[in-house]
Amino acid sequence: MFLAWREIKHSKLRYLLIGLIIMLIAWLVFFLSGLANGLSTANGASIQSMKADYVVFDKNSSVSMLRSLLPDSMVDEIKKTPGVKDAAPLGQLTVSIAKVNDEEQVDATILATEPNSFLVPKINEGTSFHNDSNEIILDDSFKSYGYAIGDQLKIIQSDKVLKVVGFVSNQAYNHMPVLFMDIQHWQTLKFPTEQSKSGIENPVSVIAVQKDSDFNKDILNQISNIDVVTKNTALQNLPGYSAESLSVNMMLFFLFIIAAFVLAVFFYVITLQKSNQFGVLKAIGANTAFLSKNLIMQVLIVTAIGILVGVVLTYGIASVIPEKVPFALDNLTVAIYSLLLLVIALLGTILSLGRIAKIDALQAIGRVE
């Protein structure tokens, strides 16, 4: 500590520059992770936040909500299966909607279920929808389009009219805001003709399952022609979901590698420059442990400050970012990535520590500063 802080104070510019690089890397890491988080939220928030443990798909659907069709009667069959606490049907449909007497269209995802099922999110404003009605509840983001309780909306594809009765928050599916409605009403939208039901009576898209402590996936899977997957698997199988998070995570991964190299090289070059000085220090009685501790302290001080400023910068920018940008910071992720950067910086010092251990006190003799 004696040397670490004094040197930073004396060579302000040098350490400021390193701190700046660390800050920029940290900022980039946090920004990318915010973007990754925002993208996956925009894609799967509604699935992620639903209070279900498993999702039952039609066996031939390849875990696609778009293709999956199951008879409504199966909900009761699943409910009776041992280990199942509750089950609820879920219907999905992508539509464009507009206010009656207004041309501005908004793309949205309809998620439909039974009025009192566990799939209905907490209502922020207004009431829930009722059985077999054209009532809907909207995600908060619809408010930015000027939608309010009591509004009449039309579905462009079918000229059916819907009535807004409530609002919920943070509901998104496939990068579109979500509106919730009753499953029976949804069936009239999704299957306007008998033919489109493919011979299934009262079809629904999938069935969400809440498990009990004695749940056994294999027992549930014995029902013919279904595929039981965890909620997380259902999430990963959303269109584009894995691809999006994979590409951003790849960027993050490489960023961490680059950070490791940049920091390791920085401190190594500084250590090389100072090898004569380390020789002098060893000649007057400093041991390798003392010098190593000082280097580690310096790296910790500079990296921690750099990361901290990076965090502040990230949250600052996050607060002014336009709402349409899918950006969502997760405090836990920021904390974990901060720690990871710190660990990477410390790993990078191993190279320099090896160098310090090798420096000979004899180097101090007969040399000019």
Q: Contact positions toward other proteins, by CB under 8 A? A: 2-3, 6-7, 9-11, 277, 280-287, 290, 361-362, 364-369
Q: Which is nearer to other proteins, 280 or 304 (CB)?
A: 280
> Which of these, 208, 191, 251, lies nearest to 35 by C-alpha position?
251
Between 10 and 80, whose beta carbon lies closer to other proteins?
10
Alpha carbons within 13 A on the beta-carbon side of 68: 27
Q: Which of 182, 248, 240, 245 is nearest to 66 (CA)?
A: 240
The CB-of-308 to other proteins minimum distance in angstroms stands at: 24
Neighbours of 13 (CB within 10 A): 7
Q: In this complex, which beta carbon is closest to other proteins, that of residue 253 or of residue 290?
A: 290
Q: Residue 139 in contact with residue 171, Cβ under 8 Å? A: yes
Tokens of 201: 């009576």
Q: Which is nearer to other proteins, 99 or 282 (CB)?
A: 282
Q: Which is nearer to other proteins, 108 or 281 (CB)?
A: 281
CA 146, 149, 151, 152 torsion-angle sign: positive
Cβ 309 to other proteins, closest distance in Å? Answer: 23
Distance between CA atoms of 123 and 131, rounded to whole angstroms?
Answer: 16
Minimal distance, residue 349 CB to other proteins, in Å: 19
Which of 21, 286 has the CB closer to other proteins? Answer: 286
In the complex, least distance from residue 27 CB atom to other proteins, rounded to whole angstroms: 29
> With contact defined as beta carbons under 8 Å apart, do 91 and 183 qualify?
yes
Centre a 10 Å sphere on the Cβ of residue 250 and count the other Cβ atoms it contains. Answer: 10
Give, as one character, the DSSP assignment of residue 197. Answer: G
Least separation in angstroms between residue 1's CB and other proteins is: 9
**Smallest separation, CB 324 to other proteins (Å):** 50
The dihedrals phi and psi of 141, each to the nearest 5 degrees, come to -60, -20
Q: Name the percent of the chain in helix, strand, coil, to the closest 5.
A: 50, 20, 30
Least separation, in Å, of the C-beta of 362 and other proteins? 5
| Nearer to other proteins (CB atom), residue 220 or residue 281 | 281
